[in-house]
Amino acid sequence: MPERNDLQMPFSRLQLELDERAANGLLRKRHTLTGPQGAHVEVDGKRYISFSSNDYLGLANHPRVAAALKSGADIYGAGAGAAHLVTGHSLAHERLEEELAAFVGKPSALLFSTGFMANIGAVQALVGRGDTVYADRLNHASLNDAMLLSRATVRRYRHSDLGQLARMLGETTDGQRLVMTDAVFSMDGDRAPLPALLELCEKHDAWLLIDDAHGFGVSGERGRGSMSHFGIDHPRIIYMATLGKAAGVFGAFVAAEKVVIEALINNARGYIYTTATPPALSVALLESLVLIDEADESRAHLKALTKRLKQSLEGLKWRLMDSDTPIQPLLIGGNQETMDVSMGLRERGIWVAAIRPPTVPDGTARLRIALSAAHDFSDIEKLAKALHELAR
Ligand SMILES: *Cc1c(COP(=O)(O)O)cnc(C)c1O
């Protein structure tokens, strides 16, 4: 083996970039869970109260979902073995698509392996050169990558700035226009003004793609998501949601008019050229859907937890961002201070993810406090007590 010498290594450039990240306190690292996801987790062998998952309803380790997954494996085995358009499309996938479409009130739905792939696949299939995509600046990374890969002209508007979007929409009439937005912003927890966005899309004959990764299962009537939350429903809405967050399993779907789904089946490369998800996951998700439908009590509990968190952090020198969803970011500002608070919490047995640039804008590093119906009020009290101690 040659001596390790950074300058002679073939990857010295990568090493330099990583060293710079580390020097700025921005090196990303993983931690290993030694048990299931939940309100309490074991990380590297130690127990923590966790406010860091997207498992908003506590379904990731729900006995009924886990049992459905096992029964799915008994019927279908482990893997799908092929892409959906070859021989990978099973009855379980088919049934789940029907249930998802009905659940969110759309004529048709299509399963994707992940939300990341659903966004990339859908946008790339829907628009291309000569078309224009309008995107909120705080959209999820997968929507940002999707619009770049689509080769459409890209216009980004300031976060939820409808005036700027209206001006931009007025500037082009060529090609197809597609407006796309997170419904609940993943790092801020606030909601996009969907009714006003829909109105603008109507006026300018643009399509509206809604990414409801954080609304599905949590928001709206019986967890129907953000369209239901705002009481809107329109054929020009292309609805996307993920199944690895509130639904507790894995995957994603797009729900829309039949013609849109047909177009995705025929054109979405992230759908066509990839192996179907294990059918057992779809069996588990069918059970998740039943649980989401029944989870009014969990959703009410989530609201009560959110209220309690806001009350118990009053007077703290850091402030919670303006959000009525289970995503309750605590704005700290500096990268190092955010890391220090996160580490201080960890020493007290509490795990909250520190979110730093480039995931969020410079100077807005934050603790992303994510609540779950699996938390109880004493979890919130412990978090609040620790934060008040650390603020001193
Ligand atoms: C998590 C997330 C995705 C990606 O979904 P995965 O299924 O995890 O790939 C897409 N959009 C938003 C807004 C998300 O929060």
User: What are the structure tokens assigned to 119, written together?
Assistant: 């966004």
At the top level of CATH, which class does the domain 63-293 belong to?
alpha beta
Homologous superfamily of 29-57+296-391? Aspartate Aminotransferase, domain 1 (3.90.1150.10)
Q: How does residue 358 score in pLDDT terms, banded at 50, 70 and 90?
A: confident
What pLDDT does 26 receive? Answer: 82
How confident is the model over 81-97, as a mean pLDDT?
A: 98
pLDDT in tens, 181-217: 999 999 999 999 999 999 999 999 999 999 999 999 9
What pLDDT does 193 receive? Answer: 98
How much distance in Å is there from the Cα of 69 to the middle of ligand 1? 22
161-164 LR contacts (CB < 8 Å, sep 24+): 162/193, 162/196, 162/197, 162/200
What pLDDT does 321 receive? Answer: 97
Task: Give, to the nearest 10 degrees, the angle between helix 63-76 and helix 91-104.
Answer: 140
What pLDDT does 8 receive? Answer: 64
User: What are the structure tokens assigned to 139, written together?
Assistant: 């959209």
Cβ of residue 116 lying under 6 Å from some atom of ligand 1: yes
Pair 177, 130: CB distance under 8 Å: no
% of the chain residues with pLDDT over 70: 98
Number of other residues whose CB lies within 10 A of the CB of residue 245:
26
Residue 182 CA: nearest ligand 1 atom is 13
Pair 70, 221: CB distance under 8 Å: no
Cβ of residue 186 lying under 6 Å from some atom of ligand 1: yes
Pair 104, 227: CB distance under 8 Å: yes
Q: For strand 40-43 and strand 46-50, is the pairing parallel, antiparallel, or unpaired?
A: antiparallel
pLDDT in tens, 281-314: 999 999 999 999 999 999 999 999 999 999 999 9
The DSSP bridge partners found for residue 49 are 40, 350
How confident is the model over 156-165, as a mean pLDDT?
A: 98
What pLDDT does 173 receive? Answer: 81
What pLDDT does 7 receive? Answer: 55
Cβ of residue 139 lying under 6 Å from some atom of ligand 1: no
What pLDDT does 4 receive? Answer: 57
What pLDDT does 372 receive? Answer: 98
How much distance in Å is there from the Cα of 11 to the middle of ligand 1? 31
How much distance in Å is there from the Cα of 12 to the middle of ligand 1? 32
Catalytic residues, by residue number, are 186, 214, 245
Compute the mean pLDDT over every residue in the chain, rounded to the nearest whole number.
96
What pLDDT does 2 receive? Answer: 53
pTM of the model: 0.96
Which residue CA neighbors atom 6 of ligand 1 most closely?
115
How much distance in Å is there from the Cα of 241 to the middle of ligand 1? 8
Which residue CA neighbors atom 14 of ligand 1 most closely?
213
For residue 64, pLDDT beyond 60? yes
For residue 5, pLDDT beyond 80? no
For residue 1, pLDDT beyond 80? no
For residue 352, pLDDT beyond 90? yes
What pLDDT does 222 receive? Answer: 98
Task: Select the highest-mean-pLDDT range: 4-8, 44-48, 261-265.
Answer: 261-265
What pLDDT does 134 receive? Answer: 98
Coil/strand/helix, residue 216 = coil
Pair 82, 180: CB distance under 8 Å: no
Which residue CA neighbors atom 8 of ligand 1 most closely?
115
Q: Give the residue extent of every domain in the chain.
A: 29-57+296-391, 63-293
What pLDDT does 24 receive? Answer: 83
How confident is the model over 68-90, as a mean pLDDT?
A: 98
pLDDT in tens, 114-156: 999 999 999 999 999 999 999 999 999 999 999 999 999 999 9
**What does each C-alpha distance from 196 to 38, 73, 191, 252, 364 come to in angstroms?**
36, 44, 12, 26, 27
For residue 3, pLDDT beyond 80? no
Which residue CA neighbors atom 4 of ligand 1 most closely?
115
